[in-house]
């Protein structure tokens, strides 16, 4: 479409990157379920393998359905090119290996997804790649002090999981760029609707597309987005694989041949295509269907989460709530700066009664799903200390703020009063089991609630519970049941 004015985000998430189906006029991008693609003749095959003809050769290298999703995500993130892969872990792997080699070094925020931490420490560590973690990501001097001559990238998450401790993207980017190093940001929990890290200095953005981009929990996928802005010739020859002569390019370098897209082409052609984390076109189709309602969902996710966080902060059984949208959060200033549309829906809170109280609480919910996933339209609940962070020592968990009573929520798009009733039901179970505040749970072993736990908790009725919960919240945080 030709227009003199740029389209808004929601319009782009529906129409962006679309190429009309010339064959049949399908309005929705078709699912191209073909492993390979026919060449018209000898010369066509030769030209496609040489990169002269932009047609497709093999789905591992590119597929029209996947490419449509790539164009749309690149557009929404403000990047030049995107690479769709099979999962968020694959996206992190492709992004890292597109920059790193044996003997290189990474500086990462400490507060990141445990799967990414494991990838850096175990998988890349076996390749001779080292990593240093910055415990206080707001300490820009600590980022600068961690840089070595062999440092190749900085890494952080825009909204870290599960503590909602917002990253100072532009501050970290400035430190990285002064050292000639790119900043890679995982934007999974924020999505480009809440923040576009490239606009704040990030050079590469990754996503687990399985989460909010898809939204419906039925497909896996990941994406790497290149800003096209980083000057790979800086940094004292750190990126010789992009700036030096390459036999596959006839002696030219990736920077000389592809300019701003040097990293994206290398990551796609040399890393992704050879490792092979290719998403099924069916998954690509499902991801695109989710993206078309992204802004509507994330707006509701964020409003629901803030309402719940505000309510939880008032409960005597809760010792802390980690949500940057709250004025009490030490990251509230960063949320106001980077996330004016909301601080997302994934956050944590801690019960005074430790693991026994958390066990009782989680077993008592009925509307929240007990599962490991994020960004679903359904609300989800998990106990990190016994699941996602179980491989860390108690001391490591304590240092990271992952206490035994900490519970992670991924708040969905259901009606907020219904979610609050479910959480009130769970708090009532804790009170019934451990007393008014749940602090008694610290004194003894976990109680068996299978017989008299959640089922014995009186229901919160519409006449009493809903009214009291609504009254406990700021009016602007309440979402009407009629929405």
Q: Contact, 412 vs 377, CB < 8 A?
A: yes
Q: Which architecture, in CATH terms, is 9-30+62-291?
A: 3-Layer(aba) Sandwich (3.40)
Q: Which helix (H) or strand (E) holds 354?
A: helix 354-364
Higher pLDDT, 143 or 473: 143
Residue 234: its pLDDT value, please? 86
Cα–Cα distance, 164 to 325 (Å, whole number): 9
Contact call for residues 91 and 206 (beta carbons, < 8 A): yes
pLDDT value at position 461? 35
What CA–CA distance (Å, rounded) separates 226 from 182? Answer: 11
| pLDDT class of 437 with cuts at 50, 70, 90 | low
Which tokens sit at 329? 């959060």
Instruction: Give the C-alpha separation, 180 to 151, whole Å.
Output: 9
d(C-alpha 286, C-alpha 11), whole Å: 19
Q: Where are the domains of the chain?
A: 9-30+62-291, 295-477
pTM: 0.88
Which two three-digit tokens encode residue 483? 């929405």
The predicted structure's pLDDT at residue 439: 53
Shared fold status for 9-30+62-291 and 295-477: no
Instruction: Let me know: does 167 contact 177? Beta carbons within 8 Å.
Output: no
User: Which bin fits 17, alpha (ψ -120 to 50), beta or left (φ > 0)?
Assistant: left
Q: Which residue has the tokens 């078709």?
A: 30
Contacts of 88 (CB under 8 A, 6+ apart): 115, 186, 188, 206, 207, 208, 209, 210, 211, 221, 222
With cut-offs at 50, 70 and 90, classify the pLDDT of residue 438. low
Average of pLDDT values for 316-344? 97
Confidence of residue 26 (pLDDT cuts 50, 70, 90): confident
Lowest-pLDDT range of 50-64, 153-167, 265-279, 427-441: 427-441
Q: Which residue has the higher pLDDT, 25 or 190?
A: 190
Dump pLDDT digits (tens) for 156-208: 999 999 999 999 999 999 999 999 999 999 999 999 999 999 999 999 999 99
- Cα-trace Rg, the chain: 24
Comparing CA positions, the residue from 429, 384, 471 lying closest to residue 161 is: 384
Q: What is the CATH number of domain 295-477?
A: 3.90.1150.10
| 239: pLDDT strictly greater than 80 | yes
- Classified as helix, coil or strand, 319 is strand
Look at residue 468 and tell me whether its pLDDT is greater than 80: no
Average pLDDT, rounded, for the chain: 89
How far out from the chain centre does Cα 378 lie?
A: 17
Return d(Cα 235, Cα 422) in angstroms, integer: 53
Confidence of residue 3 (pLDDT cuts 50, 70, 90): low
Decide: residue 78, CB within 10 A, 0-12 exposed, 13-18 middle, 19+ buried: middle
Percent of the chain with pLDDT over 90: 79
Pick from 3-17, 160-174, 276-290, 356-370: least confident: 3-17
pLDDT grade for 30, boundaries at 50, 70 and 90: confident
Residues comprising the chain, all counted: 483
- CA atoms of 227 and 78, how far apart (whole Å): 7
Mean pLDDT, residues 300-319 taken together: 97
pLDDT at residue number 442:
42
Alpha-carbon 397 to chain mean position: 21
pLDDT value for 52: 85
β-pair partners for 320: 350
Token readout for 151 is: 């440092």
Query: 3-class SS at 321?
Result: strand
What's the CA angle centered on 206, arms 200 and 208, to 5 degrees?
130
Ranges of H-type helices in 179-239: 191-194
In the three-class reduction of DSSP (H, G, I as helix; E, B as strand; rest coil), residue 141 is classed as helix
């Amino acid at each position: 479409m030709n227009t003199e004015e740029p389209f808004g985000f929601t319009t782009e998430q529906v129409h962006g990157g679309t190429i009309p189906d010339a064959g049949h006029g399908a309005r929705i991008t078709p699912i191209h379920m073909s492993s390979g693609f026919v060449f018209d003749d000898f010369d066509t095959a030769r030209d496609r393998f040489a990169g002269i003809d932009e047609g497709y050769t093999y789905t591992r290298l590119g597929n029209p359905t996947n490419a449509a999703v790539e164009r749309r995500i690149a557009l929404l993130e403000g990047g030049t090119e995107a690479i769709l892969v099979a999962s968020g872990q694959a996206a992190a792997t492709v992004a890292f290996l597109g920059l790193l080699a044996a003997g290189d070094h990474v500086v990462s925020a400490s507060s990141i997804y445990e799967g990414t931490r494991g990838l850096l420490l175990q998988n890349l560590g076996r390749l001779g790649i080292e990593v240093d973690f910055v415990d206080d990501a707001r300490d820009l001097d600590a980022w600068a002090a961690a840089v070595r001559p062999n440092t190749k990238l900085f890494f952080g998450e825009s909204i870290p999981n599960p503590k909602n401790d917002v990253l100072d993207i532009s501050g970290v980017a400035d430190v990285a760029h002064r050292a000639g190093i790119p900043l890679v940001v995982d934007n999974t929990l924020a999505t480009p609707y809440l923040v576009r890290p490239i606009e704040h200095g990030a050079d590469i953005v990754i996503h687990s597309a399985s989460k909010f981009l898809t939204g419906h929990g039925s497909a896996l996928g990941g994406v790497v987005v290149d800003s096209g802005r980083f000057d790979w010739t800086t940094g004292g020859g750190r990126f010789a694989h992009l700036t030096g002569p390459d036999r596959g390019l006839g002696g030219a370098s990736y920077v000389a041949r592809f300019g701003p897209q040097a990293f994206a082409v290398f990551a796609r052609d040399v890393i992704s295509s050879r490792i092979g984390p290719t998403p099924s076109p069916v998954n690509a189709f499902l991801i695109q269907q989710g993206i078309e309602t992204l802004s509507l969902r994330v707006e509701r996710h964020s409003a629901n989460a803030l309402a719940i966080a505000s309510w939880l902060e008032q409960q005597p059984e809760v010792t802390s709530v980690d949500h940057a949208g709250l004025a009490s959060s030490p990251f509230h200033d960063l949320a106001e700066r980077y996330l004016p549309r909301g601080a997302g829906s994934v956050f944590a809170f801690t019960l005074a009664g430790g693991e026994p109280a958390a066990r009782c609480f989680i077993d008592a919910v009925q509307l929240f799903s007990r599962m490991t996933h994020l960004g679903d339209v359904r609300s989800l609940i998990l106990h990190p200390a016994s699941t996602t962070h179980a491989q860390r020592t108690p001391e490591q968990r304590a240092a990271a703020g992952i206490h035994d009573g900490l519970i992670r929520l991924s708040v969905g798009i259901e009606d907020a009063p219904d979610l609050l009733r479910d959480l009130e039901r769970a708090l009532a179970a804790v009170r019934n089991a451990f007393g008014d505040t749940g602090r008694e749970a610290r004194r003894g072993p976990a109680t068996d609630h299978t017989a008299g736990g959640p089922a014995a908790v009186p229901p919160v009725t519409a006449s009493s519970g809903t009214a009291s919960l609504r009254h406990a919240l700021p009016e602007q945080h309440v979402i009407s049941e009629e929405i």
